[in-house]
Amino acid sequence: PKVPPKLITVPQNIEIQPNMTAYFGCEAEGDPRPTLFWSREGSHSVIFQGSSSGTARVTPEGTLQ
């Protein structure tokens, strides 16, 4: 049976110091398995799991680094 996507882990706001790396986790479940992607507010470009854009990278698990 098909199961609608549901967020399991939702990204949280964090504060970091200059030159530190921020990690934003996100997990979802469903059937078929949802595809996670990230976008910057106001931008039309997206970054999918396992890819990068500039200094941003998304792990195969869906974490934005």
Q: Taking a C-beta distance cutoff of 8 angstroms, is the pair 44, 64 a contact?
A: no
Q: How many CA atoms lie within 13 A of 18 on its CB side?
A: 0
pLDDT at 41: 87
Q: Taking a C-beta distance cutoff of 8 angstroms, is the pair 63, 25 a contact?
A: yes
Indicate left, alpha or beta for 50 from its phi (over 0: left) and psi (-120 to 50: alpha): left
Q: Reply yes or no on whether the pLDDT at 40 is more than 90.
A: no
One-letter amino acid at 43 equals: S
Q: pLDDT digit string (tens) for 9-39? A: 999 999 999 999 999 999 999 999 999 899 9
Average pLDDT, the chain: 92
pLDDT at 1: 80
